[in-house]
Structure 1
């Protein structure tokens, strides 16, 4: 039988409920487990901008998330089929793929993440997702389960994505699109603002939500700063998966408050 899994995230999405998570850059199991303790739905584990690779350490992070009750989503380094396949075989609930700009790239992701008839994912029963080929293992049930439950999440973070948005969204097998406002802004050489206050960025998010929802695809986006007003605004716009900051942001915020306390205490009475 398969190892620990997290089906709650997909179930919430299928019911149309908003879901919440955080990004994890530090490679710390502690940070992921703490987020789970506070009831977040997903852990966005980054292997694109960090020293973390899709290796034994990533396996540890995925296991920590699963055992703590938070769904692990791995951001891989790109449309690399080995990264995508290994993340899912380690037990990840889904994969997030950066810098997608064409339908061919989207098809390559589906090819790596899905078994036939949707893709051509390589298979081996000696992995966690397959229960290591243990009691009751059946190839047909395993492949059907993987195709039905693992989330495939390309990122919309460049003008090229929006140039080809209809062709990309028409690729069968995409579950969610993650909007990256910073990289989109970099690609367009406009002001970078995670709050998405720039009119063009706001317009692109609205376009993404409209076209994705028309095809039954969910949308993920960041909530920066992570305050109630911004959560309500994103929910009203139709964002389904809301990223409530990241572990480095949380650490900086705690250190900022500590510095302020130190400086205030040092002032003459």
Structure 2
């Protein structure tokens, strides 16, 4: 059986359409499947800040995403070739690499994710991405397909990234850059605001969009709060991949409403 894939995300991006996803911290397949039911384009599955590693648990989340029709993007633990390679071999559509600060680190991301001649990814046919070397398997077609369809997404979330932005964006093989306003703010010791109303944070996102787009690179950023006005503002700014909140946020909002209902009923008793 051919490996399940999600080509809708890549097709929309090639047409210049906005694409939408959500971040998943819980380690459960349930919110990913629900997001797929509601037509989101990508699942940003986190292995950086959660107990989830790039192991059997991640494999389950990647497969749930593919079966739900939502493209899995795995945020690995850092510039780690094993995490990057294994995520893609499990069937992930792309890898998101946190806290990239230099062109050397960006090249390491590409090297781990892309086969020659772009990178130096190691290969084995006994994995899902290669359909386990099943009927009709050819190494050349497999490597060409992986290079063409798997996304390499370093994160711009430190002042060092912007100190080196031109050199980083010149690295061949970068497909998207994900802007992280919280960690950027932490690195600069300025107030943390995911809505990016801080003038410096807004300026850095604009700089990233301008320089990335000039090189044919897409930009991803969070939409907080995930409401229509925020979506429109990001689209007008030029953000290509918009992150509509996360599963923990939505759980908090639901339970907050439940608590408010309990407290309101108690006052009226």
Normalising by the smaller structure, the TM-score range is: over 0.9
In the alignment, which residue of structure 1 is the partner of 2:9?
Answer: 9
Determine if contact 1:43/1:72 at 8 Å carries over to the other structure: yes
How far apart in 2 are the matches of 1:29 and 1:209?
Answer: 32
List per-residue Cα deviations over 1:146-198 (Å, max 9, x = no partner): 00000000000000000000000000000000000000000000000000000
How big is the shift at 1:2?
A: 3.6
1:207 aligns with 2:207: yes
How far apart in 2 are the matches of 1:35 and 1:252?
Answer: 17
In the alignment, which residue of structure 2 is the partner of 1:191?
Answer: 191
In the alignment, which residue of structure 2 is the partner of 1:225?
Answer: 225
List per-residue Cα deviations over 1:38-74 (Å, max 9, x = no partner): 0000000000000000001100000000001000000
Task: Give the 5 Å matches for 1:89-168.
Answer: 89-168=89-168
In the alignment, which residue of structure 1 is the partner of 2:82?
Answer: 82
- TM-score, normalised by the number of residues in structure 2: 0.99
In the alignment, which residue of structure 2 is the partner of 1:51?
Answer: 51
In the alignment, which residue of structure 1 is the partner of 2:65?
Answer: 65
How far apart in 2 are the matches of 1:268 and 1:239?
Answer: 46
How far apart in 1 are the matches of 2:204 and 2:268?
Answer: 51
Gaps of 5+ in 2: none
Give the match's secondary structure for 1:239: coil
Give the match's secondary structure for 1:72: strand
Give the match's secondary structure for 1:13: helix
In the alignment, which residue of structure 1 is the partner of 2:260?
Answer: 260
Determine if contact 1:94/1:150 at 8 Å carries over to the other structure: yes
In the alignment, which residue of structure 2 is the partner of 1:179?
Answer: 179
In the alignment, which residue of structure 1 is the partner of 2:247?
Answer: 247
Give the match's secondary structure for 2:215: coil
Which stretches of structure 1, 4 residues or more, deviate above 6 A after TM superposition? Answer: none
How far apart in 2 are the matches of 1:176 and 1:253?
Answer: 30
In the alignment, which residue of structure 2 is the partner of 1:35?
Answer: 35
How big is the shift at 1:75?
A: 0.1
How far apart in 2 are the matches of 1:12 and 1:178?
Answer: 18
How far apart in 1 are the matches of 2:129 and 2:268?
Answer: 61
- TM-score, normalised by the number of residues in structure 1: 0.99
* Alignment RMSD (CA, Å): 0.7
How far apart in 2 are the matches of 1:118 and 1:3?
Answer: 23
List per-residue Cα deviations over 1:74-97 (Å, max 9, x = no partner): 000001000000000000000000
Give the match's secondary structure for 1:154: strand
Determine if contact 1:2/1:132 at 8 Å carries over to the other structure: no
Aligned residues: 269
How big is the shift at 1:268?
A: 2.9
How far apart in 1 are the matches of 2:34 and 2:196?
Answer: 28
Change (3 A) 1:102 1:178: same
How far apart in 2 are the matches of 1:268 and 1:80?
Answer: 56
